Amino acid sequence: MFLLLFFASTAKAQPGRTFDIRKYGGKADGRTDISMALTNAFKDACASPTPSKVLIPKGKFTLGQVSLKGPCKAAVEVQVQGTLVSKTDKVIPHSSWVAFQYIDQFTLSGGGMFEGQGPKAWGACGLNSYCKHLPINLRFDFITNGMVRDVTSKDSKQFHVNVLGCKNLTFLHFTISAPDHSINTDGIHIGRSSGINILESNIATGDDCVSIGDGSEQILISKVTCGPGHGISVGSLGKYQNEAPVIGVTVRNCTISGTSNGVRIKTWPASYPGTVSNMHFEDIIMNNVSNPVLIDQVYCPWNECNAKLPSRVKISNVTIKNIRGTSASPVAVKLACSSGIPCQGVEIADIDLTYTGKEAPKAVSECSNIRPRIFGKQNPPACGSPTTSN
């Protein structure tokens, strides 16, 4: 229903005046930095009392780090038809390459590409957390009623997309492209946002295709292809104090291929309190995926925590239905819940995952601190007997 209303509203608010960056000095010569041209074009579009459009035409443009901020007087569309290439000198740490902030009725479109030039930075990753300080390709802060469609983010230096404080923001026909060795290049990270839709999109990267942080509510991921990468993840959660609940995440009709995880919920042991509820993973194809289905409440990479103390993040009301395909690891379904607050209201139905490796004769399930409700086909056999109640 939201998408129908959104498309209807955008149809009524077609941009009137166009602000072409070439009229502001922008040149597609591969040398001229168009940061000032884009910033000035956006300021004029933002000040327009009627819907407007900023145009970046076809061609290759060099762009430094920019922040395009509202609020704007009317709907604004930024149409990127060409390729924007990130500058690699004078990079501001802990920042973003292109940021869109505080805009209502915003659209990013055009069929163009944001080329982050990540390979020039990844080589130094792993040294003193260097990668965590690199800029994110695209940042969306406090966008309401927004649409990102038909654009590509390629080879970001760090995360491709960060979504913070947004409401009713949809990604449609969005492409993320990076090799599996690109470090810390999450596809789309969502935090403290609601009504976020990722639809009919392709994500290939070196970290989570989609990662969902605290305070995320009503998130829909549908018809997304993911791989390579680390899969689609809720969390990790519980590491910091006063994290907001994660409520209402649906992942359905997706295909995940060649990733280190499929769908997972991860929380830290010895954590601060938190809640995760109403998670739905349905109708998903796994192609040679390690850990296709994973709840991990003892998530402790690099031994940064006390794994002997239980997680205090409560996970409840989870459905895992119609997951089929192949597992690259013997444990195709692993539900490792907290010994302090066991998972509640977990339902597993119609699982058909075949192990393709040689480490074990067949796929298995592993469970701890959980009593799931089991329905339908269970390959591998579920942790429990088929039942219709807890």
Residue 139 predicted with pLDDT over 90: yes
Measuring CA to CA, how many Å separate 70 from each of 140, 170, 285, 360? 12, 19, 40, 57
Residue 85 predicted with pLDDT over 60: yes
Query: Any idea what the Cα angle at residue 207 is, between residues 244 and 118, rounded to 5°?
Result: 115
pLDDT digit string, tens, across residues 335-353:
999 999 999 999 999 999 9
Integer Cα distance of 77 and 228 in angstroms: 31
Give me the pLDDT at residue 134, please. 87
Residue 8 predicted with pLDDT over 50: no
What domains lie within the chain, and their CATH numbers?
66-73+93-121+134-379 (2.160.20.10)
Give me the pLDDT at residue 385, please. 46
pLDDT digit string, tens, across residues 61-79:
999 999 999 999 999 999 9
Share of the chain above pLDDT 90, in %: 83
pLDDT digit string, tens, across residues 31-62:
999 999 999 999 999 999 999 999 999 999 99
Give me the pLDDT at residue 122, please. 84
Mean pLDDT of the chain: 92
Model confidence band, residue 4 (pLDDT cutoffs 50, 70, 90): very low
Model confidence band, residue 386 (pLDDT cutoffs 50, 70, 90): very low
Once rounded to an integer, what is the mean pLDDT over residues 137-144? 98
Residue 126 predicted with pLDDT over 50: yes
The DSSP code sequence of 99-125 is: EEES-EEEEEESS-EEE--THHHHTTT
Model confidence band, residue 128 (pLDDT cutoffs 50, 70, 90): low
Q: Where are the alpha helices (DSSP H) in the chain?
A: 2-12, 35-47, 119-122
Give me the pLDDT at residue 304, please. 76
Catalytic residues: 230
Residue 14 predicted with pLDDT over 90: no
Beta-carbon contacts of 135 under 8 Å, excluding residues fewer than 6 positions away, are 65, 86, 91, 92, 93, 95, 96, 97, 157, 158
